[in-house]
Chains A and B, each alone.
Chain A
Amino acid sequence: MDAKLSHTAALILQALDAGFVYGFSIMEMTGLPSGTVYPAMRRLERDELIRSQWEKQSIADAEQRPPRKYYKLTAVGESTLEASRRRYPLLERLIPSSEAKSV
């Protein structure tokens, strides 16, 4: 049997899918500390469930802030998240997908 997805990882995938696409917003949404969220995202990226991308410098300059790194689910990540939702119906209720996509 293959290794399993932890609660933390499932929660982060759901948060990413809900539109919380950078580390601090995931921290705020899930209540997990930075020492948990960022390492978890490194591992998810290593396992190709998510991928990261820097935003353009010009956008950050226009908003007078440093650029930030955004994360996005990959196709494998989406299928894994879909399977997690079937097993954990509460996952979607905890972080509704529509909650942040409109933000």
Chain B
Amino acid sequence: MRPRAFSAYDLLYAALLRTASFMVPRAARAEWRREWRGELWHVRQACAPLSGTNGWQARREVTAFCLGSFQDALCVRRAGSTPLPAAQGTPRQCLFVLAALLVASYAVALLLPGVRAERSLWPRQVSANLVQIQLAAVEGAPRPSISTRLFQSWQGQRQRFFDGFAFYHVENEIMRPALEAPAGSDWSAWRVAHSSPNLLNLLGLPIEFPDPEAASITLPSVLLSERIWKRDFGADPHVAGLTIRLGLRTMRIAGIAPDGSLALPGSVDAWELDPNAVSDSAGHGFVIARLTAAGRSMMDSPSVHISSDDPEYENEDLLGVALGQDQPAPQTVYLFALLLALLALPAITTVSLGEASMHPRETSWPRRLFRWSFFAAKAALLLPILYFVSLDLAYGFTMLSREQSIYIQLAAAFGMCLFSMRWALKDQRQRCPVCMRLVTHPAQVGQASRTFLDWNGTEMMCMGGHTLLHVPSLPTSWFGAQRWLYLDTSWNFLFAGSTRPIP
């Protein structure tokens, strides 16, 4: 053997072959390495004349040759284990995998706290039957403009358009994170809303809050906004139950209100359900009202004018502004992304299912119905999978704000819908019209066939032996779409003696 100087590339080639060899079963590994080393020697000899500017090309070819060893090693490994299972590529296997993915994505959505919190808000977001009442003359950001007296008079009267009212007023208070913290130590200024006890019920939020009437027995509780939880507590997941000093009072943190769940005016950092919220407020506050069916029918725009017969407000015009419509629900975001993906789909693949290339005599109506049913089942499983995965991605990270999560869900859902639908169409096109199994063993038909057969593409076969599928690489006027070739009995003699899948 001719001695030859080793280079870094020799080490690279040897490393690639050695790495691939570990995939080969131990019993066959030595012989496998011996064959590939022998072949590599000849490949290097063949590429050796290429030097200078062609040196890079030669090294690339040798590297590509070595990379092919991984596929060979994998093939040897599989051959040593089990042959292809009979169910591979069948519709049942496809649907089973999709169903498993659906269960997994739903389970992850149930486990992620961010997704759980978002899901708990969905009923409120879809039922936009709340209005915030304020003076119509108030311009810009909403300001507290309803007096406690008017609120109490509304509460005391039967209303036609409203069946519930809640009141809150906001005060600036100093928060110290621990009971023992000395005055002047780490503190921050919070805007604390003191609300009537029925606020959370009115909003329809399923948040368990200690009974404010029993606050004399235990410490009064406070609900933090997500923003202040991240800012002052570093998004600590164990913050619930901690005691803090809020002004002169000691309070217990009951939980966190996720962004969007308490999107009420007033830039509130913390919420306290206070039975004395109305009586303690000498001035004005915010009023939230729940619409009756008659009230909802009157809400033909995001805001409606309301009149009051109260002497204080008889010359004032009131405005009812709809709440909960500024941010879309996750379902809405997902459906919008799905629509965008459907519109963009023709840009990345043909939307044909390949039905036109099927022979009507070979494909009966029941079989065609089965094909369409299978496609519908695939879509029915894919859509919820993509929905839950987009939720997992968007709301799995609790450090993100709701606005950021909406953008993430939109982008993720669009990308996944686009490429999943592309896969669904391609999968459908590559299923044998006779047995619905996926065609396999793609063979690239290249230069030779282009010369003699006037086409260049890929040929795949049905493992059931029913069909061959021809897919052109570059559609031409004489070969624009894929074609099915049905194998009749004359093909049996061609492959006589062959009883197992052959590459």
Contact = CB atoms under 8 A, between A and B. Distances in A.
B39 interface: yes
Contacts of B453: 90
B68 A68 contact: no
A8 B443 contact: yes
Interface string A1-19: 1111111110000000000
A6 B494 contact: no
Contacts of A23: 35, 39
A56 interface: no
Given A68-B42, A83-B493, A44 B459 contact: no
Given A42-B75, A83-B495, A69 B68 contact: no
Interface residues of A, number: 46
A76 interface: yes
B43 A83 contact: no
Contact of B459 (A7, A35, A65, A68): A7
Contacts of B446: 31
Interface in A8-50: 8-9, 22-24, 27-28, 31, 33-40, 42-44, 46-47, 49
Contact of A2 (B46, B79, B495): B495
Contact of B443 (A7, A42, A83): A7
B13 to A, nearest CB: 12
Contacts of A3: 463, 465, 495, 498-502
B141 interface: no
Nearest to A9: B503
Nearest to B440: A6
Interface in B392-433: none
Contact of B46 (A24, A39, A40, A84): A24
Of listed A64, A66, A84, residue having the most chain B CB within 10 A: A66
Nearest to A77: B497
A35 B71 contact: yes
B75 A43 contact: yes
B65 A34 contact: yes
B498 A80 contact: yes
Given A7-B443, A49-B502, A90-B452, A24 B42 contact: yes
B372 interface: no
Interface of B: 1-2, 34-35, 37-39, 41-43, 45-46, 64-72, 74-76, 79, 441, 443, 445-448, 452-453, 459, 461, 463-466, 468, 487, 491-503
Given A2-B492, A66-B38, A94-B448, 18 more contacts: A1-B464, A2-B465, A2-B499, A4-B491, A5-B494, A22-B42, A24-B46, A34-B64, A34-B69, A36-B71, A37-B68, A38-B75, A65-B41, A66-B1, A69-B38, A76-B497, A80-B497, A83-B493
